[in-house]
Amino acid sequence: MRITIFGSGYVGLVTGACLADAGNQVVCVDVDPAKIARLNEGEVPIHEPGLDEVIERNRQKGRLRFTTDAAEGVAHGLFQMIAVGTPPDEDGSADLQYVLTVARTIGLHMSDYKVVVTKSTVPVGTSDKVRLALEDSLATRGVALEFDFVSNPEFLKEGAAISDFMRPDRVIVGTDNPRVTELMRALYEPFTRNHDRLIVMDIHSAELTKYAANAMLATKISFMNEIANLAERVGADVEKVRIGIGSDPRIGYSFIYPGVGYGGSCFPKDVRALERSARAVGYESQVLAAVEAVNVRQKRVLFDKIVAHFGGALAGRTFAVWGLAFKPNTDDMREAPSRVLLEALWAAGAAVRAYDPVAMEEARRIYGPHAALVLCESADAAIQGADALAIVTEWREFRSPDFDAMRAALTAPVVFDGRNLYDPQLMKRFGFTYYGIGRGAALPAARAAAPPR
């Protein structure tokens, strides 16, 4: 099949690469000439395990091309996929300007029947706006051409996007035309041969499904963080509570790990956008508002623990931070908890020595040269001479460190573990003052050293 994808960001690149890998002819269109130049030279602008190999394989075989020429893209594909960003507007609602611009562009250049597919995460009712924008563009040209519209939201996890696309849990297809259902079934057949995972519904339901899925997962995270905060105050261990409730198959273990809040490009944006969508139709979603409020508060939990331990005397101190990306296996720092911690430490007069396995360049892009930030080449280098260690992202390489070497490298053996990677009793035996999330009081109850002069 011949497919055009507008937008060469995370969703567009993964979708294009995987569809090309199944033998389709794919053209990815983007308005950023520098990005297209890099892609045509074989350089992938995002970090996603396995993506660069899939792109290069299909680029070499001529099944995957990149261009800034919108007219070429519209002429190429029966399927016109919209995978551009929907960043939050000033009020938190989804900004649809890029989606609607693509719709008008398709209407401006199309000369035959097209299936217009929205992959971008958009509020309910966006399909009506896209259809109207495309129809207006055709009317301006004075032509009447047939097209169909499909809502086909993506469910890709950063860090596991290739496997998610190749072996999907479900493929949501929102359409009002049975003919389009069969076209979409044929498109996804290589990825659903073992089990038909195509779920067909009306367009508005498909649009809401994507938001509802992300909001449900975000709700589980915020709920577990609420339980963790309660556990600290009543002397319980939230990790034992997690195992106890996760054993119930109605709850399960997914997304009930306490920590320092969710981040990234999806959950924060989508929860806010869904809450604003509810408000726009006269409904106040108290649950969604609470999920967002809990997450905002949770991102400061690690900093609050640091302030309490050092009695507020942070000026002149240096803190090691392990993990900058919002989750492992990505370099994405959008709305990452690490950013809240770093900026709070700097505002308190502290310096930071940070390390992340893949997000160092992204940190340099965001913060540039910063007098209070040293980006280190390894986890061991980051803790050298630091007053304490804060763990923000649960990268695998942080799970089994040399605790003796860690204690020797730190000025004081204090660890603030935002992901509960370590056992509190083990840390106590190694001589650390250890703060987890929802794991009771610090062990041992050591007093902080005097602030530096």
Active site residues: 266
The two tokens of residue 242 are 């997690």
For 373, the 3-state DSSP assignment is strand
Helices (H) and strands (E) in the chain, counts: 18, 14
Q: H helices within 167-325, ranges in order?
A: 178-188, 203-234, 238-246, 267-280, 286-298, 301-309
The two tokens of residue 284 are 């106040």
Phi/psi for 179 (5° steps) reads -60, -40
Closest by CA to 396, choosing from 297, 301, 328, 307, is: 328
Cis peptide before 424 (omega within 30 of 0): no
For 255, the 3-state DSSP assignment is coil
**HSE value, Cβ hemisphere, 13 Å, CA-based, for 104:** 10
The rounded Cα 325 to chain-centroid distance in angstroms is 10
For 80, the 3-state DSSP assignment is strand
Contacts 24+ apart (CB under 8 A), 175-180: 175/148, 175/149, 175/150, 175/151, 175/200, 175/202, 175/203, 176/149, 176/202, 176/203, 177/148, 179/148, 180/115, 180/148, 180/150
The two tokens of residue 288 are 């969604």
**Separation between Cα atoms, residue 453 and residue 280, nearest integer Å:** 55
The two tokens of residue 172 are 């949501």
Phi/psi for 153 (5° steps) reads -65, 150
Do the beta carbons of residue 115 and residue 39 sit within 8 Å? no
For 361, the 3-state DSSP assignment is helix
